[in-house]
Structure 1
Amino acid sequence: MGGMLPPAALGVVRTVVSLLVDGRHEELETLTEGRRLSAARTERAVREYGGDLISPPDEAFADADVRESEDGTGYTVAMPLWTAQEGRCRLEVRLTLREVAEDVWTVQIDALRVP
């Protein structure tokens, strides 16, 4: 793991994963303000991968690849997802998080794919 996320940023990562697991792609698009990936694109990526997404165990969040952004204003996170069929699977979500006010983070989904 490249670094540790502040608790508020980790909460945003958990929210994104939860929305993906629950298939709430429209809410995810709202959360990310539609930057980079639309609801249709995240839904298609999950469908094309196959399998049923499940909530990862808590320790999986500690295994995410976290790197401070080059400009120091946020983080990039590569979070592996989990399916009922495989447990930890090859599909991962890549996020960019930026702190816009104290403990207030924006999130962008950069990719939802098999690396």
Structure 2
Amino acid sequence: MLPEEGVNAVRLVVALLVRGEYEDLETLTEGRRLSASGMADAITGYGCDLISPPEDAFGELTLTGVEQVSAEERVFRVEFPLWTAQEGRSRLRLRLTLTEVMDGVWTAELDGIGA
């Protein structure tokens, strides 16, 4: 199960995507794996307008992998369905790698956005 701080990291990433703040998200993720232009291309290429998901949607995170890197560091691979104005819950999915580098400190990497 993903700790609440990890869920909060997903909330932040989704909020930045919904607001179209791709450059801020690229800064947050240090541009690893997906650039701001790559994010924009994935969203606009899908052809629907992102909206904020309902709060209970964050309970539907799919944990696709967990790795204990060291005593303090854990890596979580997560998939989360995005929501659009046209579809509600969309086929479009966000794939993230979240790393708990120490108690309460997390980093996020965008692995991909796609259907």
**TM-score, structure 1 as length reference:** 0.92
Unaligned runs of at least 5 residues, structure 2: none
Which residue of structure 2 lines up, in the alignment, with residue 8 of structure 1? 5
The 5 Å alignment of 1:21-40 reads 21-40=18-37
Any idea what SS the aligned residue of 2:20 has?
coil
> Quick check: 1:92 aligned with 2:93?
yes
What amino acid is aligned across from residue 8 of structure 2 in structure 1? G
- Which of 62, 68, 89 is equivalent to 1:65? 62
> Quick check: 1:54 aligned with 2:55?
no
Distance 2:65 2:44 in 1: 31
Identity of aligned residues (%): 52
CA RMSD of aligned residues (A): 1.1
Distance 2:46 2:28 in 1: 23
1:24-60 alpha-carbon deviations (Å, 9 max, x no partner): 0000000100000000000010000011100000111
Unaligned runs of at least 5 residues, structure 1: none
Number of residue equivalences: 111
Distance 1:41 1:23 in 2: 12
1:69-103 alpha-carbon deviations (Å, 9 max, x no partner): 24462211100000011000111110000111211
The 5 Å alignment of 1:104-115 reads 104-114=105-115
What amino acid is aligned across from residue 5 of structure 1 in structure 2? L
1:3-31 alpha-carbon deviations (Å, 9 max, x no partner): x2111111100000000000000000001
